[in-house]
Every structure is written in C-alpha cells, then in structure tokens.
Amino acid sequence: MPGDKVRFAIIGLDHNHAYNHARLLLNAGAELSAVYSDEPDDVAAFQKMYPDCPVKSMAAILEDRSIDVVGGSAKPADRAAISVKAMQHGKDVVADKPAVIDLDQLAEIERVQRESGRLWRFYSNEHWDRRCTIKAGELVAQGAIGRVVQTTGFGPHTPRMPTRPRWFTDHKVSGGIIGDIGAHQIEQFLFFTGSRTASIVTSATGNFGHPDYPEFEDYGEATLEGDGGVGWFRVDWHSPESIRVPGDIRLFLLGTEGYMEMRKYIDVAGPEGTEHLYVVNKDGARLIDTREVQLDFGARLLADVRNRTETSITQERSFLITRLATEAQLRARRVGGPVLAAAGPQGQSLA
C-alpha cells in the first residue's frame, strides 16, 4: 500500500467527532469511501456535507477490502464492537472517546489488536486539533520550561441539553463524564509528562446542577500519578452558552523551570482569537502566536497506516489512555448530591 491512497469509512455518526475524523483523514489526503449510521437523520446530515460519499451497510463496509481505515463515532457503548469487527476484517481504526464503556470491552480490543496486528489509535481533538497544544509539545521537547512535573487540565463544556440525544445523560450508554471528556485530559497528561505507565490515585463524579437528570454526571475529576510526573483534571457540563465555544478548555504545564498555559477555544475577556499559548520561564512571560502551527496528526496517522509505525500515537498509549479513563470512571467516588442540592440554587452563605 505505501504510496497508494488510503481509503477510509466512517461508521457511527452519533457524535460530531465523526466529522473530525472525516476532516482529519481527508485533509491528510485519504479518500472517504463510505459512511454508515443506524440513525437516518445523521446519515442525511452527513450526506449534505459529503454528497459524494456512498452510504453503505456496516457489513458491506467491513467486507470491502479496499477500505483500509475505519473512523467514526457511534454511541459509546457500541464503539468497542465496531473496533473489534473492523480489525477482524483487516482494517485499522481511529478511535474516538470514550472508546469503551468497561474494561471487558477494552480487553477484547487489546486481544483482537494483538492477534490481528491492525492499528487501533486514539485521537484526541483537544490535543491534536489545537495548535497551542502542538506548539507546547514542541517547546517542552526543547526544554523551554525544564521538566514537566505536573499537568492540570480543565475540560468544561456547555451542556446544551435540548440538543442532546437521550443516551447522553445515561452513563451506561455514554460511558460517563470521565470516560468521555476526561479521556482527552488523560491523553495530554501522559503526553506532556512523558509517562509510559500511570495509575489513577482517586477520581470522582457527581451531579451538582442537573436535578432533572439524576443519572447524569455533570462533574468529574481525577488525580493521576505516572512514571514521568503527576496530573489532575476536572471536567464538567456547567459552562454558560454565552461564551459561544464548546468550553473554556485549559491545560497548564508545571515545569521545573517555568510553566505554560493553553487557552484552547477562548481567552475569556482577553485577546481575540483561540489556541492561545502562554509561556513563562526565565526569559519572562509571553503569549505565543500559534497561527502558523501545522495540524499534522492526520498525516502522521496515514504514515503509520502505510508504514505500520507509531508516529502519531503509540499503540500502548492508546490502550493506556482508554484503560485509565475507564478505571477513573468506574471507580469514581460519588460527590455532590442531596446535601449540596438542599442548599438552594442561589448564592451561598460565606460566613
């Protein structure tokens, strides 16, 4: 296949990350060969965006030996089975978060990946679709802030409940808040601390602000310890829609000789634009212009597909992210609840 065009299919349109996968691979020069979803409205919307893309059944896509890669974003509980079938049919997989909803699903993916030798690679758009994060990686590798000893991530998101499918508030289908939007955070913790092994020290989920959806988790956090450093993050569904972006998502790197902050989608009441990278070290504090940074994950992923390499993300890290996110989700302490809710919606006594 080296030199040939890589052909890919999208299976699952239940989250708009399917469009990220399509864009990522198309921009890198791959060919969109087919799409499948069990939701007809989602298929119709996808066809509006990509009118030349054939709609096929899942079986037809799996049997089509000309398709090299499967991406897409089905309902989270269904993703593992799609990954497994795709690899069993000789295809590489671009995995969205949450890639699994329990550890049995992950064990099956790991087993089939090892048996089949296919690539199963995790893609985090909060990392690889944000120029500030890519630039931060370059600067850290150059030693700009010494060793990164800790990462702190905020993954706030706007809930926009009326736009969400019913399964969104059911963590048995959605995978829960940490398995879902926490996975981005774990990927970046491993990346920036250079950790190859890591564990969850403690994690928590809760519902603080959505009494109408008692099963919904609108808050999550986890404390991590890796062989390269430590990490903590929180994720939530509390952001006001007034900011008009998915969330004021931040990443802070604490180094032995300085620190960095990424304001990924908005710099609230600050400079215009997005993907802002602040670097503070012995030379002072700077806002780095990241507009010229290339988004190259797609190109590296296609190189990995052609050359069976690990230039985009390693196989082991893809598994480790997924394992840690799932463990953090399943073992989470429950926080919030009746005591907090009883205090009433407005204000707080700060005696």
- Could you tell me the smallest distance in angstroms from the CB atom of residue 118 to a copy of itself? 21
Q: What is the DSSP string of 53-104?
A: SPB--HHHHHH-TT--EEEEE--HHHHHHHHHHHHHTT-EEEEPSSS-SSHH
Residues contacting a copy of itself: total by CB under 8 A? 77
Considering only residues 324 to 343 of the shown chain, the ones binding a copy of itself according to CB under 8 A are 333, 335-336, 339-340, 343
- Could you tell me the smallest distance in angstroms from the CB atom of residue 294 to a copy of itself? 16
Q: Where are the beta strands (DSSP E) in the chain?
A: 7-13, 31-36, 69-73, 92-95, 120-122, 148-156, 198-207, 219-226, 230-236, 250-255, 258-263, 276-281, 284-288, 333-336
Measured from the CB atom, is 16 or 202 closer to a copy of itself?
A: 202
- Could you tell me the smallest distance in angstroms from the CB atom of residue 220 to a copy of itself? 10
Considering only residues 214 to 233 of the shown chain, the ones binding a copy of itself according to CB under 8 A are 219, 221, 223, 225, 227-230, 232
Considering only residues 266 to 325 of the shown chain, the ones binding a copy of itself according to CB under 8 A are 266, 268-270, 278, 280-287, 310, 314
Measured from the CB atom, is 105 or 152 closer to a copy of itself?
A: 152
Distance, in Å, from the CA atom of 81 to the CA atom of 330, rounded to the nearest integer, reads: 19
Measured from the CB atom, is 42 or 248 closer to a copy of itself?
A: 248
Figure out which of the listed residues 16, 57, 66, 256 binds a copy of itself, where binding follows CB under 8 A: 256
Instruction: Kindly report the backbone phi and psi dihedral angles of residue 170, in degrees, each rounded to the nearest multiple of 5, phi listed first.
Output: -105, 105
Measured from the CB atom, is 52 or 351 closer to a copy of itself?
A: 351
- 325 sits in the region (left: phi over 0; alpha: psi -120 to 50; else beta) called alpha
Figure out which of the listed residues 60, 107, 243, 330 binds a copy of itself, where binding follows CB under 8 A: 243
Q: Which stretch binds a copy of itself (CB under 8 A): 89-97, 172-180, 206-214, 324-332?
A: 206-214
Considering only residues 7 to 66 of the shown chain, the ones binding a copy of itself according to CB under 8 A are none
Q: If you search the block for the tokens 């990522």, which residue do you land on?
A: 24
* Residue whose C-alpha is closest to residue 154's, from 240, 241, 248: 248
- Could you tell me the smallest distance in angstroms from the CB atom of residue 311 to a copy of itself? 9
Angle at 313 between CA 25 and CA 99, to 5 degrees: 75
- Could you tell me the smallest distance in angstroms from the CB atom of residue 15 to a copy of itself? 24
- Could you tell me the smallest distance in angstroms from the CB atom of residue 257 to a copy of itself? 7
- Could you tell me the smallest distance in angstroms from the CB atom of residue 310 to a copy of itself? 8
Considering only residues 145 to 184 of the shown chain, the ones binding a copy of itself according to CB under 8 A are 146-150, 152, 154, 156
- Could you tell me the smallest distance in angstroms from the CB atom of residue 144 to a copy of itself? 9
How many CB atoms are located within 10 Å of the residue 90 CB?
A: 13
Query: Mask 98-137, x = binds a copy of itself (CB under 8 A)?
Result: ---------------------------------------x
Instruction: Name residue 121's beta-bridge partners.
Output: 94
How many CB atoms are located within 10 Å of the residue 216 CB?
A: 22
Figure out which of the listed residues 206, 216, 217, 325 binds a copy of itself, where binding follows CB under 8 A: 206
Instruction: Kindly report the backbone phi and psi dihedral angles of residue 161, in degrees, each rounded to the nearest multiple of 5, phi listed first.
Output: -55, -40
Collapsing DSSP states into helix, strand and coil, what is residue 23?
Answer: helix
**Residue 234, interface with a copy of itself (CB under 8 A)?**
yes
State the burial class of residue 118 (Cβ atoms within 10 Å of its Cβ: 0-12, 13-18, 19+).
Answer: buried
